[in-house]
Amino acid sequence: MTVSSPPRVLTVAGSDSGGGAGIQADLKTMLALGVHGMSVIAAVTAQNSLGVQGYWELPPEAVRAQLDSVLGDIGAQAVKTGMLASAALVETVAEALSGVDAPVVVDPVGVSKHGDALLAPEAVETVKSRLLPVATVVTPNLWEVSQLTGVKVEDERDLRRAADAILALGPAWALVKGGHLPGAPVDLLTDGDREFRFTAERHDNRHTHGTGCTLASAVASHLALGEDVPSAVGKAKEYVTGAIARGFALGAGIGPVDHAWRQRA
């Protein structure tokens, strides 16, 4: 009996030693959604439920070697990027992905859930000029929107202005996540012409470590499975909402979302 291989999704991100975010969250999400996850590690963090105690970047040549190894042999139906740490790594990844014929989901990670910086200040301009133009979808939260564009989102009416500012930097689609606004969580997706709003119930749960990584990986997974961008985002939003609802305590701080919530159910 011949078993066909599932769609392949590559994550390029940092490792989270606590297992709730980063590469670990990405691969768990991909497995839960039925795709084959592959990884390029850009940085290693010492991280737990209380915060990030430190991180160490890999050399650009090591990151490029991983990219060439996976993409040159196995290939990918979608790529997701997360923590890239430095301008040199952002440039290395952007150069490699510019020649990839697959959708690229960019999670422009700037800080951790605990507020710890995960991107060097001088790398922000490189993200804007080199990485966002190769992106199919960019998934910033409100803090990342401000970091990249200077736009401050104070209520839901500001979401479209923020998305348009992101689109001006070159991606095909912008998904601005409004979860930090008061009221029901609303995310806005647009390509400049079409606009979609995704709402969900707000769960009273502080264990939300890894939500951004999980959402972006879920979007990439559904794109690899053949969904168009709006449908991929809608299904990813449904998955991450369920994962947040079942987030669990781990350690003394903020616990992770439950990537296996559907399997446990």
Among all residues, which ones are annotated catalytic?
Answer: 177, 208, 210-213
- Please report, to the nearest 10 degrees, the dihedral formed by the alpha carbons of residues 220, 223, 229, 235 taken in order: -80
Q: Return d(Cα 9, Cα 236) in angstroms, integer.
A: 15
DSSP at 151: P
Q: Return d(Cα 104, Cα 81) in angstroms, integer.
A: 8
Q: Return d(Cα 177, Cα 223) in angstroms, integer.
A: 19
Q: Return d(Cα 137, Cα 167) in angstroms, integer.
A: 10
3-state secondary structure of 256: strand
Long-range contacts of 237-243 (CB under 8 A, 24+ apart): 237/187, 237/198, 237/200, 238/200, 239/29, 239/32, 239/33, 239/214, 240/211, 240/214, 240/215, 241/200, 241/201, 241/203, 243/211, 243/214
3-state secondary structure of 225: coil
Helix (H) and strand (E) counts for the chain?
9, 9
Other CB atoms within a 10 A radius of the CB of residue 56 amount to 11
Sign of torsion over alpha carbons 28, 33, 37, 43: negative
